[in-house]
Amino acid sequence: MNLSFHRRLVLVCALLLCWACIGAYGLQCYACLQQISHAACNRMAPENCTGQDENACYTQVERYLHTGKKITKGCSNTVRCQKGQSLNHDCDRPPRKCTYCCVGNLCNRSNGQQRALSHGVLFTTGVALTTVFYLTITSGLDV
């Protein structure tokens, strides 16, 4: 299983490409202001979290007695978001304002539950693809 220099170089480049693709775009969160549903928020363009301390996504649900609920989403700081989340009490009864935090691209699809692919899943997929590529080139097949 002696790989030529060229094949080793290709393998290293493939690994670096997987790593770069995963982290190149930074964090993205669904973003909206006082929409009536999660679906309405999620139809809007995601926000690129560009602030130095924006490392989390949040969803804030405000419930009102006569007008229903209003949903706001966006980028946040983990500490600030978790501080808001710690104040959540009896979120299903109006009038209430509750905050939900999550970390990962587009993780705030609903009440902060991570339904989007996380960096860990993307990294694992990249490693699996690189392994398949490695096995292909070490078996002597042309790629």
| Domain edges within the chain | 23-116
pLDDT of residue 93: 82
Using a pLDDT cut of 90, give the percent of the chain over it: 47
23-116 CATH fold: CD59 (2.10.60)
Backbone angles phi, psi at 11, to 5 degrees: -65, -45
What is the crossing angle of helices 5-23 and 119-138, to 10°? Answer: 170
pTM over 0.85: no
User: Is the preceding peptide bond at 95 cis, omega within 30 degrees of 0?
Assistant: yes
pLDDT of residue 67: 85
What are the tens digits of pLDDT across the range 51-106?
A: 889 999 999 999 998 889 999 999 999 999 999 999 998 888 888 899 999 999 99
For residue 14, give every residue at least 6 positions away whose Cβ sits within 8 Å of its Cβ, in sequence order, or none: 130, 133
* Residue 42 CA, distance from chain mean position: 13
